[in-house]
Amino acid sequence: MTTLAEIASCLSGYDPNALHIVQAQEFIARLVPVVREAETLPIRDALGRVLANDVVSAIDVPAHDNSAMDGYALRGSDLMCDAPTALDVVGTGFAGSVGSQDVLAGQCFRIMTGAVMPPGLDTVVPQELVEADDGKVTIPAGVVQPGDNRRLAGEDLAAGEVALHEGRTLRPADIGMLASMGIAEVAVRRKLRVAFFSTGNELRSIGEPLEAGCVYDSNRYTLWAMLSRLGVEITDMGLVRDDPALLEAAFLQAANTADAVITSGGVSVGEADHTRQVMAKLGDVMFWRIAMRPGRPMAIGKITSSGRDAILFGLPGNPVAVMVTFYALVRDALLAMSGASAQPLLMLKAACVKPIRKRPGRTEYQRGIVTRLEDGSLQVAITGSQGSGILRSMSEANGLVVLHHEQGNVDAGAMVDVLPFDGLI
């Protein structure tokens, strides 16, 4: 079993006190195991789940050559190049009927979309392009080329080919594709189990009175929401007071059943509480200071309970830092643990409305509002105050402006990278 120290020794220039975000991502990718267990589900229940095996089509889809249009099926070789082509109509085919009728040279066949092409015919002329009169059609020169408007057997999916690969997170089109192959059930990986709790004596739960010096625990709710979007199985373990025995019991209980345990708060160096001590006692855990803003402190490691390991993500307490570290470091790790193939987020480029002050040497995630201008280009404005405790900056934003590690000050009008929230999870 790999220890954290072994992983660290593989990364050149690894410095836990000023960790480059990319190194943190790489470290975590090496640390996390993949869930192997699978279950079989009806395809509708498999939406959003991760395929456990390749899916091979047993049939050609479509099963026959068929028409892509309502019109007339004909032989491409009958079409005249420079003059109208006149053909006799000798029958009609509807979707679902099998066009076994012989159609001879100089003849054509009235055909509807989806109807099987009669043998020997390879072209369909759409009905609106022809003149039909008394059992004959006349096709103007040049309106159709041989082979047009015919769907080939197996052009969507060929029998024996892998239609969907293991690790695929099933989306609406995939569910439809499974149905098109006549597949009723698929094997998917079991859902990842994620437990989480908040730590901090100043925190109060919704419903409790807010005493002087206290704040309501919001992180558990943003975490719940982010995890829900990710499609994992969630265990909310509530708020755990800053008491070594309570913290230890919570960690052990979480690690006993969950694949991953996420906490917020109590991981910064100056912490007076017991969270760090208990984490270090129960597993192989490192405390990082990541070169990022917001979200500098973080704990990462494995907590062992009853002989099984759970991956620990000890996130900082500040509400914006929780969200940013989740998107920057936890999301991909949880997807990888779920067995999903990598789904890199799409990054947009937008022109920055105002200059941004930025020091090279850390990655910053500023909250921004992206808008599309009349000429179709994108611009981004930073939302008001960027304090890591100001959750409103996240709520108002529709994307994260990513200012990379080496990047310095940004001039007004300069292009910056933005991770849009839509589609982020």
3-state secondary structure of 292: strand
For residue 242, the minimal CB distance to ligand AMP (Å) is 10
For residue 281, the minimal CB distance to Mg ion (Å) is 18
Q: Which is nearer to ligand AMP, 384 or 389 (CB)?
A: 389
Helix (H), strand (E) at residue 228: helix 219-230
Please give the Cα distance from 183 to 58 (Å, whole number): 9
* Residues numbered 74-133 forming contacts with ligand AMP, rule: CB under 6 A: none
Helix (H), strand (E) at residue 10: helix 4-10
Q: How far apart are the first and last CA of the chain?
A: 31
The DSSP secondary-structure symbol of 122 reads -
For residue 404, the minimal CB distance to ligand AMP (Å) is 25
For residue 248, the minimal CB distance to Mg ion (Å) is 17
For residue 238, the minimal CB distance to ligand AMP (Å) is 11
Question: In Å, what is the CA distance from 151 to each residue of 106, 144, 157, 390?
Answer: 22, 15, 12, 56
Contacts of 386 (CB under 8 A, 6+ apart): 366, 367, 393
Choice from 264, 305, 325, 407 touching ligand AMP (CB under 6 A): 264
By CB under 6 A, tell whether 200 contacts ligand AMP. Answer: yes
**Residue 264 binds which one of ligand AMP, Mg ion, none, with CB within 5 to 8 A depending on kind?**
ligand AMP
> Which residue, chain included where needed, has tokens 């892509």?
68
Question: In Å, what is the CA distance from 72 to each residue of 108, 140, 153, 350?
Answer: 6, 13, 19, 50
Q: Which is nearer to ligand AMP, 124 or 239 (CB)?
A: 239
Residue from 239, 203, 80 nearest 146 by CA: 80
For residue 278, the minimal CB distance to ligand AMP (Å) is 14
Q: Which is nearer to Mg ion, 154 or 200 (CB)?
A: 200
The DSSP secondary-structure symbol of 78 reads G
Please give the Cα distance from 195 to 221 (Å, whole number): 13
Pair 168, 111: CB distance under 8 Å: no
For residue 195, the minimal CB distance to ligand AMP (Å) is 15
By CB under 6 A, tell whether 242 contacts ligand AMP. Answer: no
Q: Identify the sign of the CA torsion 229, 232, 237, 239.
A: negative
**Residue 420 binds which one of ligand AMP, Mg ion, none, with CB within 5 to 8 A depending on kind?**
none
Instruction: Choose the stretch contacting Mg ion; rule: CB under 5 A; options: 45-53, 167-175, 243-251, 265-273.
Output: 265-273
Choice from 66, 67, 219, 338 touching ligand AMP (CB under 6 A): 219
**Residue 414 binds which one of Mg ion, ligand AMP, none, with CB within 5 to 8 A depending on kind?**
none
Please give the Cα distance from 248 to 332 (Å, whole number): 27
For residue 237, the minimal CB distance to ligand AMP (Å) is 12
Question: In Å, what is the CA distance from 396 to each residue of 151, 323, 355, 364, 400?
Answer: 48, 14, 20, 18, 11
By CB under 6 A, tell whether 198 contacts ligand AMP. Answer: yes
Instruction: Choose the stretch contacting Mg ion; rule: CB under 5 A; options: 192-200, 208-216, 322-330, 347-355.
Output: 192-200
Return the C-alpha torsion angle 395, 400, 405, 409, nearest 10.
-90
By CB under 5 A, tell whether 319 contacts Mg ion. Answer: no
Residue number with the smallest Cβ distance to ligand AMP = 317
**Residue 203 binds which one of ligand AMP, Mg ion, none, with CB within 5 to 8 A depending on kind?**
ligand AMP
By CB under 6 A, tell whether 269 contacts ligand AMP. Answer: no
By CB under 6 A, tell whether 217 contacts ligand AMP. Answer: yes
Length of the chain: 425
For strands 348-352 and 150-151, give the pairing.
Answer: unpaired
By CB under 6 A, tell whether 393 contacts ligand AMP. Answer: no
* Residues numbered 194-233 forming contacts with Mg ion, rule: CB under 5 A: 200
Interface ranges with Mg ion (CB under 5 A): 200, 265-266, 317
Interface ranges with ligand AMP (CB under 6 A): 198, 200, 202-203, 215, 217-220, 264-266, 268, 271, 316-319, 389
